[in-house]
Amino acid sequence: MGNNTTQTSEENAEDYSPWDIKPGHFGSSSDNIHLFENFIDFEDLKVIQDFCPTINEWENGPESVYAEDGTCLYNAQYWNDRTCDYGILSRINPEICLILEKYILKMKYTIEDIFKVKVSHRNPVIARWFPGIEQKPHADKQLIDGRPNAFPDYDLNSLFYYNDDFVGGELYYPQHDIVVKPKPGLAVLHPGDIHYLHGVKMIESGERFTTPAFFTVIENHGAQ
């Protein structure tokens, strides 16, 4: 056998995309934004509601991620002291972990049914939002200028809401004229690209608790 190993690394580099599911894959219709009221059962909601205000350990660990040109791809500082990650959660309250995992799986099956894909899921976390915090419109897997962020595989994403005893904190989709006032038990679902920018209005008073859940398409049976 001869040695037949001409490498084409330049060609491969040109073909490279950070996204397996490319931005725009799901189109740009508002129909891809889903709201599910009472997604969390009442009994489970009560347990989560009682637990959230008692959390006294919040993550301060991860480092921000920057592109070569210095662009911030993930701002860890923004989430410091307001994310109860899976490591903390599973240690301080395994029961809550099981409950949240149940609803992450429920959302996984919901996504698979709606979008005709198979998705992988991640461990549960709880985030808190307090007065003075807001989030500018952003996409979950892209920077606002279209470049990839640190999470290019966040293809379809969901948020669970547990409480409403706060002022402000509405979720809004500026391209779709949709404003969502969080309700206990509500879940929302949207694609992760820049056709689905979303932000959170400033929290004016009270504390707002959510679980963000990110899903990655591993098999795609839907129409392009």
Binding site residues, Fe ion, CB under 5 A: 140
Minimum separation from the CB atom of position 139 to Fe ion (A): 7
Q: How far is the CB of 222 from Fe ion (least distance, A)?
A: 22
| Dihedral in degrees, nearest 10, Cα atoms 105, 108, 112, 114 | 110
Three-state DSSP at 98 gives helix
CB-count exposure of residue 7 (10 Å: 0-12, 13-18, 19+): exposed
- In the bound state with Fe ion, the residue whose beta carbon lies nearer, of 85 and 140, is 140
- Residues facing residue 179 across a β-bridge: 172
CA 11 – CA 33 distance, rounded (Å): 37
3-state secondary structure of 36: strand
What would the two tokens of residue 166 be? 């706060």
Nearer to Fe ion, 140 or 193 (CB): 140
Instruction: Give whichever of 51 and 214 is closer to Fe ion, judged by the CB atom.
Output: 214
Instruction: Quote the radius of gyration of the chain (alpha carbons, Å).
Output: 19
Residue number with CB closer to Fe ion (59 or 140): 140
User: Nearer to Fe ion by C-beta: 47 or 202?
Assistant: 202
- Least spacing, CB of residue 140 vs Fe ion, in Å: 4
Q: Give the nearest distance from C-beta 3 to Fe ion in angstroms.
A: 50
Q: Which residue has the tokens 């969901």?
A: 158
Q: Are 84 and 59 in contact (CB under 8 A)?
A: yes
Cβ proximity to Fe ion: between 96 and 171 the closer is 171
Q: Give residue number: closest CB to Fe ion.
A: 140
d(CA 117, CA 167): 37
Residue 54 CB, shortest distance to Fe ion, in Å, is 26
Report in angstroms how near the CB of residue 41 gets to Fe ion at its nearest. Answer: 25
